[in-house]
Chain A
Amino acid sequence: MQIEITQLNKIYKGNVHALNDLNLKIPNGMFGLLGPNGAGKTTLMRILAGILRPTSGKLLIGEHDMSTDKGRTAVQRELGYLPQDLGLYPDLSAREFLDYVGILKGLDNRAYRQKRVEQLLEMVSLSDVATRKLKTFSGGMKRRAGIAQALLNDPKFLIVDEPTAGLDPEERIRFRNLLSDLAGDRTVLLSTHIVEDIAQTCRNLAMMKSGQNIFQGTIPEMLAETRGKVWQITTEGPKPAGNFTIVSTLPLGSGMQYRVVGDPANRVGATLAEPTLEDAYVWLMHKNEYSERMIAR
């Protein structure tokens, strides 16, 4: 299921522009959406899920036009959505909650619905606690129940918004592996501000800032764009200053080693370094600011 977003705008009350002429093409498979908090990712997710209406612009999901009620309903039948703030009824058990969601997703055949619920409970390793109330679940277990509900209708399009936020490292790895396994012939849109999650799961990605798409491509393309912008500066003197962002600070025996992204004016003691995805994220987020500062000089 391919997604085509053309000049999409979303303006909230108070003239808050959450999306500004956003253009994006999302192919099949895992697709990462990176951006800081407030970049408009969650607004985009909500529009894609049919919860919010865009102010203007065009949005095609598969062959369905999301500006019509018919299109929205058709997409919702094939959609799995795991929102950032996952809502669960605390007094229902995992099995009951999944059954209820199955009903709301249109799985009318009871025997099939129950079979599907059991399959998914097994898949997310919650079978043993299926009768326990959701309010007794840990954050990781709730996330797994969340992904199970998203998959009930075997969706062709899966949206996961900040799925690993608040999880411990082991749960995060487990969750990322689960998402990669799910991709297959689905379109999985993974929205996050955690670079590591994208690096481990997605080949294609886009970056958003202030409601706009500032980069779209593959991870190697993103790294290539950043090559020549990452430096390591070793100094015993004061903290280096200049047209760059310090991404890491490593204390050495007698001095400090700084990893910077940008353009250090004084390159004494500076060596070029191979960029990581985190460096690339910082570069793409700030490259316009660096350019403006260069022009100002």
Chain B
Amino acid sequence: MNQFAVFAGAARYEFWMQIRRRALWITMTLIALLLVGLIGRTQGAQDTLTHLGRFSLKTVVVYWTNFISYLLPIGFGALLADRLPRDRRTKVEELFLSMPGSLSSRIFGKYLGAGLATLIPIFAFYLLGVGVIVAETHNLMAIPLAIEAFSAIILPGLFFVGGFSIACTAFLWTPLYQFLFAGYWFWGNIKIRNVPAIFDYIPGLRPMGSQISLGLFGVYASGNPLLSATPLEGLESLLLLVGLGLLAVFALCQGLKWYQAQQ
């Protein structure tokens, strides 16, 4: 049996089911509006916007990328969190377990398909900002640079967040996970006075991508105490985030297989 076909099929249908969700578009629009509101209230953002010409194109594009990465991944994680419990809720799990398509192929397909669908509104909003930058700077080079920055700064964090959102809800009640996840997002990214944070111990583990931003693009992300990072540290953070996200899904598959065998 071709397990790649199962993976691709699961990815395709999970994509369609997620992209048609009204909650996806409503949640992302609300977060995007919140971000727009934040831009209006953040001095740095206003300066950058009103004096686009004074900054290098790279700085402007990466600044915008970091801004996107500030809140929208919370929506990404929250919207992926119910994908696995939904199989239990709708009772398709029992049906699918009676089929020869492997559990791992299906779960990885779900991760990729639902993840890609959830990424689309984020990317659309991101492109809107890139459009403004192109219009203001008259420099089309902003487009490839934006794609590069999006892939390097935002995607690894989403891999990480998506992996844990799919995996943790196998044993955590979804609303509780979503609440804890939102708390983790700020604790894991932004230094709050003397509160010890996870990145105090593992500097690369900033899912917002601030170490990648500073290490690979040399652009500082606001709200972050990180003052310096080498390109190697940026790359290390990128690989760590992607690797941990994939590892979480892999561990989920093994855990579910073990659980099924114990039933």
**Interface, chain A (partner B; CB < 8 A):** 46, 49-53, 73, 76-77, 79, 81, 83, 85-92, 96, 100-101, 103-106, 108, 149
26 contacts across the A-B interface (CB closer than 8 A): A52-B263, A73-B1, A76-B99, A76-B100, A77-B1, A81-B95, A81-B98, A83-B98, A86-B91, A86-B95, A87-B87, A89-B90, A91-B20, A91-B21, A92-B17, A100-B10, A100-B13, A101-B95, A103-B5, A103-B6, A103-B13, A104-B10, A104-B100, A106-B6, A106-B100, A108-B2
Write the nearest CB–CB distance from A230 to chain B, whole angstroms: 39
Given the interface pairs A81-B98, A104-B106, the reply to whether A87 lies near B6 with Cβ below 8 Å is no
Residues of B within 8 A of A53 (CB): 261, 263
Contact, CB under 8 Å: A87 / B5: no
Instruction: Give bound CA distance, A76 to B261, whole Å.
Output: 16
Contact, CB under 8 Å: A87 / B9: no
Residues of B within 8 A of A76 (CB): 98-100
Write the nearest CB–CB distance from A156 to chain B, whole angstroms: 14
Contact, CB under 8 Å: B98 / A79: yes
Instruction: Give bound CA distance, A263 to B99, whole Å.
Output: 48
Q: In the complex, which residue of chain A has the Cβ closest to the Cβ of B94?
A: A83
Q: Considering the complex, which residues of chain B in the window 210-263 have a beta carbon less than 8 Å from any beta carbon of chain A?
A: 260-261, 263
Instruction: Give bound CA distance, A90 to B20, whole Å.
Output: 12
Contact, CB under 8 Å: B1 / A106: yes
Q: In the complex, which residue of chain A has the Cβ closest to the Cβ of B9?
A: A103
In this assembly, does B101 line the interface, its C-beta being within 8 Å of a C-beta of chain A?
yes
Q: Which of B10, B21, B96 has the most CB of A within 10 A?
A: B96
Contact, CB under 8 Å: A100 / B9: yes
**A/B pair count, beta carbons within 8 Å:** 85
Partner of A105, one of B91, B94, B101: B101
User: Other CB < 8 Å A-B pairs besides A87-B91, A88-B92, A91-B20, 9 of them?
Assistant: A51-B97, A73-B100, A87-B87, A87-B90, A88-B90, A92-B17, A100-B13, A103-B9, A106-B5
Residues of A within 8 A of B101 (CB): 103-106
Q: In the complex, which residue of chain B has the Cβ closest to the Cβ of A149?
A: B95
Residues of A within 8 A of B90 (CB): 87-90
Q: Considering the complex, which residues of chain B in the window 1-53 have a beta carbon less than 8 Å from any beta carbon of chain A?
A: 1-2, 5-6, 9-10, 13, 16-17, 20-21
Residues of A within 8 A of B1 (CB): 73, 77, 106, 108
Q: In the complex, which residue of chain B has the Cβ closest to the Cβ of A77?
A: B100
Contact, CB under 8 Å: B94 / A106: no
In this assembly, does B93 line the interface, its C-beta being within 8 Å of a C-beta of chain A?
yes
Residues of B within 8 A of A85 (CB): 91, 94
Write the nearest CB–CB distance from B22 to chain A, whole angstroms: 10
Residues of A within 8 A of B13 (CB): 89, 92, 96, 100, 103
Range for the number of chain B residues in contact with chain A: 20 to 34
Q: In the complex, which residue of chain A has the Cβ closest to the Cβ of B86?
A: A89
Contact, CB under 8 Å: B2 / A106: yes
Residues of A within 8 A of B6 (CB): 103-104, 106
Contact, CB under 8 Å: A83 / B2: no
Query: Considering the complex of A and B, which 9 residue pairs feature the smallest CB-CB distances, nearest first?
Result: A103-B9, A87-B91, A87-B92, A104-B101, A49-B98, A81-B98, A76-B100, A106-B1, A104-B99
Write the nearest CB–CB distance from B114 to chain A, whole angstroms: 12
Q: In the complex, which residue of chain B has the Cβ closest to the Cβ of A83?
A: B94
Contact, CB under 8 Å: A89 / B92: yes
Q: In the complex, which residue of chain B has the Cβ closest to the Cβ of A10?
A: B263
Write the nearest CB–CB distance from A288 to chain B, whole angstroms: 31
Write the nearest CB–CB distance from A267 to chain B, whole angstroms: 50
Q: In the complex, which residue of chain A has the Cβ closest to the Cβ of B4?
A: A108
Write the nearest CB–CB distance from A256 to chain B, whole angstroms: 44
Contact, CB under 8 Å: B20 / A101: no
Instruction: Give bound CA distance, A53 to B20, whole Å.
Output: 37
Q: In the complex, which residue of chain B has the Cβ closest to the Cβ of A106?
A: B1
Instruction: Give bound CA distance, A129 to B16, whole Å.
Output: 19
Instruction: Give bound CA distance, A49 to B87, whole Å.
Output: 18
Residues of A within 8 A of B261 (CB): 53
Given the interface pairs A91-B20, A92-B13, A100-B13, the reply to whether A105 lies near B100 with Cβ below 8 Å is yes
Instruction: Give bound CA distance, A100 to B99, whole Å.
Output: 12
Instruction: Give bound CA distance, A76 to B96, whole Å.
Output: 10
Partner of B99, one of A90, A91, A105: A105
Write the nearest CB–CB distance from B239 to chain A, whole angstroms: 32
Residues of A within 8 A of B91 (CB): 83, 85-87
Instruction: Give bound CA distance, A81 to B98, whole Å.
Output: 7
Q: Which of A104, A105, A106 has the most CB of B within 10 A?
A: A104
Q: In the complex, which residue of chain A has the Cβ closest to the Cβ of B13?
A: A100
